[in-house]
């Protein structure tokens, strides 16, 4: 019988943020595939776990992937971990997961810390809908394309960034986000954890002081939503909200607000239909 592939989240700073289940799985599996074996060894030593480690990172992903698949096919259970947080989220993982699916190997998530989710939930910015975009590309053309995308997204946007690139990234963002809210979530779960909720000019001014790991949360472009809605016919506009399960009165109020018009006019229109 084939083994199981466990995708195990590990802490993003505070070592208490590992689940009891994650510890049990790490103890029970035959082998742990780790992004950086030295980093994972520190974690395992802390919890007094001794286990065979295999390095699995971006630069050896294809070759090590096949080795892991072989082991799984031979009945060994494998846990995949990254340096911190959830594997596969701006971290290696995808490739072996895709191969495991092809080989009909069972894949089991073991949930835990993830920087983007924790940054988002405490940001104070809309959590109902969001787009995670990882790190902005360094390549100029691709970066420009991503920035253009951010400019026109009406959902909350989440970015990862390294401290030495934060100033440059904030400057690029300034060109496209106008007055939209922005929050920097820094050193989550660590001693110097901080949520910086200023405007973008203030953030740029103080950028030299922002050390450690950080996540950027940007408010969606609400104007896009308005423009999109007012370009619909009144019926389409009605259906847009109707599909969200709103009552007739709520829909009429929202339509009037979107179109900056009197709610009675909208009401009369639908009454006459
Ligand atoms: N897989 C990880 C996760 O689940 O969040 C992310 C790995 S990615 C290579 C590293 C980036 O995640 C950092 O550059 C930073 O943007 C973000 N990050 C990781 N730990 C963080 C922390 N403690 N506080 C703020 N951001 C963090």
Per 3-state DSSP, the chain is made up of helix, strand and coil in percentages (nearest 5) of 45, 15, 40
Residue ranges in the chain whose pLDDT is less than 70: 225-226, 273
At 226 the pLDDT is: 65
Q: Assign 206 to helix, strand or coil.
A: coil
Residue 88 CA: which ligand 1 atom is closest?
Answer: 1
Cβ of 114 closer than 6 Å to ligand 1, yes or no, is yes
- The CB of 183 under 6 Å from ligand 1? The reply is no
Task: Output the residue whose Cα is nearest ligand 1's atom 23.
Answer: 188
Q: How far is the CA of 210 from the centre of ligand 1 (A)?
A: 15
Give me ligand 1 centre to Cα 100, in Å: 25
Verify whether ligand 1 is closer than 6 Å to residue 189 (CB atom).
yes
* CATH code at position 35: 3.40.1010.10
Cα 209 to ligand 1 centre (Å): 18
Token couple for 172 = 């690029």
Distance, in Å, from the CA atom of 219 to the CA atom of 126, rounded to the nearest integer, reads 7
The three-state secondary structure class of 131 is strand
Residue 11 shares a structural domain with residue 96: yes
Residue nearest to atom 8 of ligand 1 (CA): 90
Query: Based on the domain organization, do 23 and 95 belong to the same domain?
Result: yes
* Domain count along the chain: 3
pLDDT on residue 269: 86
What phi and psi values does residue 127 have, to the nearest 5 degrees? -105, 0
Answer whether 215 contacts ligand 1 (Cβ < 6 A).
yes
Of 213, 216, 217, best ligand 1 pocket probe by most atoms within 8 Å of the beta carbon: 213
The whole-angstrom separation of Cα 111 and Cα 213 is: 21
143 plus 196 within the same structural domain = yes
Residues 104 and 131 in one domain: no
Does ligand 1 have an atom closer than 6 angstroms to the CB of 214?
yes
- 158: Cβ below 6 Å to ligand 1? no
In a domain, 226, yes or no: no
- What is the domain range of residue 78? 5-113
DSSP classification of residue 85: B
Query: Do 106 and 120 fall into the same domain?
Result: no
CATH of the domain at 202: 3.30.950.10
pLDDT of residue 230: 82
For residues 127 and 57, state if they share a domain: no
């Amino acid at each position: 019988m084939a083994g199981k592939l466990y995708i195990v989240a590990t802490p993003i700073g505070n070592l208490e943020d590992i689940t009891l289940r994650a510890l049990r799985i790490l103890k029970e599996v035959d082998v742990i595939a780790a992004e950086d074996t030295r980093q994972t060894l520190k974690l395992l030593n802390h919890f007094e776990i001794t286990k065979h480690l295999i390095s699995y990172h971006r630069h050896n992903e294809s070759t090590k992937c096949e080795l892991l698949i072989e082991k799984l096919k031979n009945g060994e259970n494998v846990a995949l971990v990254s340096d911190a947080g959830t594997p596969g989220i701006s971290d290696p993982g995808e490739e072996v997961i895709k191969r495991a699916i092809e080989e009909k190997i069972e894949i089991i998530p073991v949930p835990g810390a993830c920087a983007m989710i924790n940054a988002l939930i405490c940001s104070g910015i809309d959590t109902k809908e969001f787009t995670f975009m990882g790190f902005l590309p360094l390549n100029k053309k691709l970066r420009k394309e991503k920035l253009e995308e951010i400019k026109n997204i009406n959902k909350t946007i989440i970015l990862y960034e390294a401290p030495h690139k934060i100033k440059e990234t904030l400057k690029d963002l300034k060109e496209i986000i106008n007055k939209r809210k922005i929050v920097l979530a820094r050193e989550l779960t660590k001693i110097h954890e901080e949520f910086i909720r200023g405007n973008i000019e203030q953030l740029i001014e103080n950028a030299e002081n922002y050390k450690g790991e950080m996540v950027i949360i940007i408010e969606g472009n609400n104007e896009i939503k308005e423009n999109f809605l007012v370009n619909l016919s009144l019926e389409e506009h009605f259906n847009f909200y109707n599909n969200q399960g709103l009552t007739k009165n709520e829909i009429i109020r929202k339509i009037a607000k979107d179109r900056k018009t009197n709610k009675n006019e909208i009401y009369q229109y639908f009454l006459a239909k």
